[in-house]
Structure 1
Amino acid sequence: MVDFGDQTRLPRGVRRVLRAWLARFHVTPRAALGERMGTLAAETGVELRFRQLYLDYARYGVLTRPAAGPARAVSG
């Protein structure tokens, strides 16, 4: 999942202009995205890779299932 970050590390003027532009499209940054994805990963047993990109302009998270063990032959 990729979403806008809260841009806290961007310069104040850039952040203000970007947020105003996003608001025109009814888009709001999801400040708790990483925390929520972490909770979801813990509850479901999946792995989370999460990064803040470009001074927190964007956030990138990937949830993956753990790899299954090797296939075993079943004899009858």
Structure 2
Amino acid sequence: MPLYDYQCSRCGEFRAFRPMRDSQLPQACPECDVLCERTLSAPFLSGASDGCLSRPQGAAPGGSWRKMCGFGCSGAGCH
């Protein structure tokens, strides 16, 4: 299943695995449940995923997943 990026006006960026047939539909923010539009992004080409898709516990709202997790999911709080 592909991984898509979304932008919440309240909470910031988040990622979600979704079926391709649902790729153009809005996705609910995992923090506040507001429906969010998909953003354009480069493909995520990692060979593995450990499920680190949401904000780590204690992270400030509005923080970027790129700053929190990185492309290899090696950031503090992810594991």
Pairwise same-fold verdict (TM > 0.5): no
Q: Under a length normalisation based on structure 2, what TM-score does the superposition of the two structures give?
A: 0.23
**Structure with bigger gyration radius:** 1
Which gives a bigger RCO, structure 1 or 2 (Cα 8 Å, sep 6+)?
1
More helix by share: 1
Q: Under a length normalisation based on structure 1, what TM-score does the superposition of the two structures give?
A: 0.24
